[in-house]
């Protein structure tokens, strides 16, 4: 299933390298010898968790359903606008972060606020709905960074 998730992320414009860049962004100040290879290894460890795969599949499916108009109009409107008070997208991200403890949660809060790199690109409104995707990518990045911090 991890291959399916990587393929879906890529279809939605997110590469593993994009996620690893976010990990480096989060950890480079604390981990002076951090390399992209180390970040990629940590991203893959996160992606290999079944709970993370389930979140990716669910979130991307919901984003695509909003784009395609295959859901109730009220929910579609919330997702297409990425309504700030909706919050379910962040709750799904917390589920990913909870696998890696409080450091992943604080990393996620920071990266979700600052929206660097691919996360900022995904957060830009357009025809593609990324309401869940930007938070999932942020949570994977934050969790991979947390994993590195725990293993240092």
| DSSP structure string for 83-150 | -TTT-HHHHHHHHHHGGGHHHHHHHHHHHHHH--HHHHHHHS-SSS--TTHHHHHHHHHHHHHHHHHH
pLDDT at 71 over 90: yes
Residue 104 to residue 125: CA distance in whole angstroms: 26
Residue 126 pLDDT > 90: no
Residues 6+ apart with CB under 8 A from 12: 60, 63, 128, 130, 133
Contacts of 111 (CB under 8 A, 6+ apart): 22, 25, 26, 119, 138, 141, 142
What pLDDT does residue 84 have? 87
Whole-model pTM over 0.85: yes
Whole-angstrom Cα distance, residue 103 to residue 134? 19
1.10.132.20, 1.10.287.110, 1.10.3760.10, 3.40.50.2300: which CATH number matches 2-151? 1.10.3760.10
Q: Where does the pLDDT of residue 31 fall: very low under 50, low under 70, confident under 90, or very high at 90 and above? A: confident
Residue of higher predicted confidence among 48 and 83: 48
Amino acid 112: pLDDT:
95
Is residue 52 a contact partner of residue 93, using CB atoms and an 8 Å limit? Answer: no
SS3 (DSSP) at 10: helix
Report the alpha-carbon distance of residue 20 to residue 25 in Å, rounded.
Answer: 9
Pair of tokens at residue 22 = 């976010």
- 8 Å CB contact between 122 and 3: no
- pLDDT, residue 151, reads 84
For the chain, the average pLDDT equals 95
């Amino acid at each position: 299933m991890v291959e399916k998730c990587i393929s879906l992320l890529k279809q939605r414009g997110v590469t593993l390298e994009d996620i690893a860049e976010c990990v480096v962004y989060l950890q480079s100040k604390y981990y002076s010898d951090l390399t992209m290879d180390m970040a990629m290894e940590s991203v893959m460890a996160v992606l290999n968790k079944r709970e993370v795969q389930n979140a990716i599949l669910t979130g991307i499916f919901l984003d695509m359903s909003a784009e395609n108009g295959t859901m109730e109009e009220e929910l579609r409107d919330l997702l297409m606008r990425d309504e700030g008070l909706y919050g379910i997208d962040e709750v799904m991200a917390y589920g990913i972060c909870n696998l890696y403890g409080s450091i992943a949660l604080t990393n996620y809060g920071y990266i979700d606020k600052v929206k660097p790199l691919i996360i900022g690109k995904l957060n830009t409104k357009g025809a593609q709905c990324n309401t869940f995707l930007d938070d999932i990518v942020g949570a994977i990045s934050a969790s991979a960074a947390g994993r590195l911090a725990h293993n240092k």
